[in-house]
A and B are shown apart, each in its own frame.
Chain A
Amino acid sequence: MEICVASIVNFRDVVVKKMASLDRVKVLVLGDSGVGKSSLVHLLCQNQVLGNPSWTVGCSVDVRIHDYREGTPEEKTYYIELWDVGGSVGSASSVKSTRAVFYSSVNGIILVHDLTNKKSSQNLYRWSLEALNKDSSPTGVIVSNGDYDREQFADNPVPLLLIGTKFDQIPENKRNEVLTRTAFLSEDFNAEEINLDCTNPRYLAAGSSNAVKLSRFFDKVIEKRYFTKDPSQLTGFTDRKRFNFKSLHYD
């Protein structure tokens, strides 16, 4: 493989883009450690509750099969990769630079926070900045200081979804307060929000409002990736037989 001498960063992008030319829909799952990202991803992909959650080292990926525009004549099946990146916002810079490897060419972000822990919700701003700053999409937005800027999220090309976990652990009398807080949060991110308990599949049962929001989010991600008239995304227009998995293996 030839190495571009121009700059090290370009080299990294070239490598990643070569792999990205095989179609993928990549959604990051971000949040503090211990909020329940691994349980959530397991629930979304395997439709089962994760029995023995343990610390995620590095990044764990799982795949969900999603029917884009289900029930309409344009229905098509896509694979959605959920990249569950472990760690905390306060990690050492060496960990952060290594994590940045996973943030390239991201099509959607799911931000997970723990409803019983306010700090995890506050840290979501830093998480989103960390992921979006490394994203090589041509928004032209440069955040100079680490501060959160609402305008950046208003016309953000990467769709966001906010998920609050451990909903069952909030006592009845505190529910309203928590829901108001998360409503503010979802406004700030310009994103939909879902509040659930990862140990109970009932929250994402087919036909429930949560399932509808989830499905809408994935549809939006797929649309942005394949169907927008964005000149940098021309590769999305060719028709792909995504449900024929035989064409996908290259190992």
Chain B
Amino acid sequence: MDFRDTMQKVYSWACQIGNLGLWIIWLLIHFAVDLWYFALHIACAIESYLISSGILKRYKALDIDKLRYLAIVIESEEAYHIPAVIQLLQWLVDIGVKHVCLYDAEGILKKSKESILGKLNNATLFEEAGESNLLLDHKHITLEFASFPDGKEAVAKAANLLFMKYVKLGGSGKIQEEKIFTEAHMSEALRAVGCKGPEPDLLLVYGPVRCHLGFPAWRIRYTEIVHMGRLKSMRYGSLLKAIYKFTMVRQNYGKSSFNYILLLQVVPHVLLKRYERTRDLDRKNESVT
């Protein structure tokens, strides 16, 4: 009995030591991971500063025309911080972005539309800009405001329009179905119910979670999605970097992509443009003297 008791005590003691050891290892792993993310955060902050201050010169060669339409998704709690949203939009105007769709699930940005438009100079609603050429001016921007009902509910409304059309045409037979229920007709029906915005090239998500929070799904087939972190931690440098990286990407729209081929095409083009600019400046200087 004594031996058995002793063995049990030894076993219990060994288990406790083992558990303590595992707990210490677990703490060390957590500490190492936290340290790693902290270091990463500091590195991102430094990089963002270097980009903002213009020290990293490559971000100056930004071909903003490649970004035809930008979407910003903001988590609804953060969307209440309207001054931060306005600051973000001001940065986008400075970078030269022409069209922006602002989205939050609860429609807080939609409700603050007037206040946002009022605070920005040269901003118009996307619906009012229409076909007119307001955007010859580099510092002009159109804004579209979207929320959760513009996603799935809009598709349901658009589907209803197609059903009405189907019923009007007699509504029978496979051929009728195939003619009416197509992606093109769905897109047309979505425009008819008020969802006129195009597919964004790039979607930036501001919030704690790395998801698009119900942004109209019909519009994000080949949209690049980048998580930017919380709105309160936004940085100009990070924004510029995300847009710059997008402009360096080549889209194959569902097929395999080869980013290195894009690089081989972009680098000679940039060098040639620089050479031409320098040559033109030299010629101008010669004619003046």
Partners in one complex: no
Interface residues of B (CB under 8 A from A): none
